[in-house]
C-alpha cells in the first residue's frame, strides 16, 4: 500500500517513457525491489534498535543474488541460495531474468548493472553506519557516496534495457556519455535532496545536501543547492550535445540521441513526480504565484 500511495508507477513511466510493455513490466519489478530493500535497511538501522547482523547479512545476500541472477557471479557455484530475508532479496529475480534473456550476448552490460546495484548497496551501508555513529558527514564525504546511495545511477543503467538498445562498451564508456549520465544522476539526486528536506528535517535525518550547505541557515543551504543544481542542468545539456556530435557519423547515432533525450526526460519527470507524490510531503502545500513552495523549518516538528 505504501508503494502504491507513493505514485511509483508514475515515477517509473517518467524514467522510461519509451519502454515496451514487457520491459516496463520487468522494470516495475526492479523498482519494487529497490524500494523494498531500502525500506528494510532503514528498519535495521534505526538508531534505537540498530541491528548490525541483519544489516550486513541483508547487504551481503543482495550482492550475492544480484550477481548470481544476472549471471556475473565470479565463482563457479551457481545454485540457488536460501537467504535470511529471502522473499525481499529474490524479488530482484524477475527483472534479472528479463535482462539475461535480452542481453545474453552482452555480458559487459550485465556487469555494469550488477556493479551499480552493488554501489547502491554500499551507499546504503555508509548511510546506516553514519546514522548509528550519530555523525554528520562532511560535504566531501557525502558527495563521495551520494550518487550511489541515491539509487539513480542504477536507474540510469536501465535506460539501454528500457529502450531495447545494446551498445558497445566503447560508446557507453566514452567521456561524453559518462559526463551525460553523471550529470543527469546529479540533477535527480539534488532535486530529491531539495524536495525531501521538509520530510527529512522533521524526521531528524540530516544527511541531505541542503542541510550540509546550510551552516545553520536552511534558506542559505537551499540557495546553494539550487545553484549546484543549475550547474548540473547545464552540464546535462552540454554533455547531451557533445555525445550526439561525437557519434553523429556512426551507426550508433540514433541510439545515442535516444539515450540523451531519455536522460533529459528522466530529470524533468523526476521533478514533476516529486511535487505530486506524498512521499516528500509537498503535495499538501499550495504553490505561490511564482510556482514556489513556502514552509517554515524549526526545532519543533509540530510547529513546522
pLDDT for res 302: 46
- As given in the structure block, the three cell numbers for residue 74 are 565470479
3-state DSSP call for residue 184?
A: helix
List, for residues 100-114, the tens digit of each pLDDT value: 999 999 999 999 999
Q: The cell 555525445 sits on which residue?
A: 243
Measure Cα distances from 296 to 3, 193, 197, 304 in Å: 28, 17, 11, 5
Q: Tell me the H-state helices in the chain.
A: 2-5, 8-15, 21-44, 52-69, 86-89, 93-102, 107-133, 139-149, 152-157, 159-162, 169-172, 175-195, 197-202, 209-214, 218-246, 253-276
Compute φ and ψ for 164, nearest 5 degrees. Answer: 65, 35
CB atoms within 10 A of CB 102: 17
Rg (CA), the chain: 20
- As given in the structure block, the three cell numbers for residue 115 are 556493479
Write down the pTM of the prediction. Answer: 0.89
pLDDT for res 128: 86
What does the alpha-carbon distance between residue 240 and residue 179 come to, in Å, rounded to a whole number? 9
pLDDT for res 46: 77
What does the alpha-carbon distance between residue 53 and residue 249 come to, in Å, rounded to a whole number? 54
Query: Which distant-in-sequence residues (6+ apart) come within 8 Å of 146 by Cβ?
Result: 123, 189, 209
What does the alpha-carbon distance between residue 166 and residue 69 come to, in Å, rounded to a whole number? 19
What does the alpha-carbon distance between residue 110 and residue 104 come to, in Å, rounded to a whole number? 9
What does the alpha-carbon distance between residue 29 and residue 18 come to, in Å, rounded to a whole number? 17
pLDDT for res 298: 54
Q: How far is CA 65 from the centre of its chain?
A: 19
User: In which residue ranges of the chain is pLDDT below 50?
Assistant: 1, 299-304
- As given in the structure block, the three cell numbers for residue 128 are 546506516
What does the alpha-carbon distance between residue 96 and residue 94 come to, in Å, rounded to a whole number? 6
What does the alpha-carbon distance between residue 240 and residue 256 come to, in Å, rounded to a whole number? 9
Amino acid at each position: 500500500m505504501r508503494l502504491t500511495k507513493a505514485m511509483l508507477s508514475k515515477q517509473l513511466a517518467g524514467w522510461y517513457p519509451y519502454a515496451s510493455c514487457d520491459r516496463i513490466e520487468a522494470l516495475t519489478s526492479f523498482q519494487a525491489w529497490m524500494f523494498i530493500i531500502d525500506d528494510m535497511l532503514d528498519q535495521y538501522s534505526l538508531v534505537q534498535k540498530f541491528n548490525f547482523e541483519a544489516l550486513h547479512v541483508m547487504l551481503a545476500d543482495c550482492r550475492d543474488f544480484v550477481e548470481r541472477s544476472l549471471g556475473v557471479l565470479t565463482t563457479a557455484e551457481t545454485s540457488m541460495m536460501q537467504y535470511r530475508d529471502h522473499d525481499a532479496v529474490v524479488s530482484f529475480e524477475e527483472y534479472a531474468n528479463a535482462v539475461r534473456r535480452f542481453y545474453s550476448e552482452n555480458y559487459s552490460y550485465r556487469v555494469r548493472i550488477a556493479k551499480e546495484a552493488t554501489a547502491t548497496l554500499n551507499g546504503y551501508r555508509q548511510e546506516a553506519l553514519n546514522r548509528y555513529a550519530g555523525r554528520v558527514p562532511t560535504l566531501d564525504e557525502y558527495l563521495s557516496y551520494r550518487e550511489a546511495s541515491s539509487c539513480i545511477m542504477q536507474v540510469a543503467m536501465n535506460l539501454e534495457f528500457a529502450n531495447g538498445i545494446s551498445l558497445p562498451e566503447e560508446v557507453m564508456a566514452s567521456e561524453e556519455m559518462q559526463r551525460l549520465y553523471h550529470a543527469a544522476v546529479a540533477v535527480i539526486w539534488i532535486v530529491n535532496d531539495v524536495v525531501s528536506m521538509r520530510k527529512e528535517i522533521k524526521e531528524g535525518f540530516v544527511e541531505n545536501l541542503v542541510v550540509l550547505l546550510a551552516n545553520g541557515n536552511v534558506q542559505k543551504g537551499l540557495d546553494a543547492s539550487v545553484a549546484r543544481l543549475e550547474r548540473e542542468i547545464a552540464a546535462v545539456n552540454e554533455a547531451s550535445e557533445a555525445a550526439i556530435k561525437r557519434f553523429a557519423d556512426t551507426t550508433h547515432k540514433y541510439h545515442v540521441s535516444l539515450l540523451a533525450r531519455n536522460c533529459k526526460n528522466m530529470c524533468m519527470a523526476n521533478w514533476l513526480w516529486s511535487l505530486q507524490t506524498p512521499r516528500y510531503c509537498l503535495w499538501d502545500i499550495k504553490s505561490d504565484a511564482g510556482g514556489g513552495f513556502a514552509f517554515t523549518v524549526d526545532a519543533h516538528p509540530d510547529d513546522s
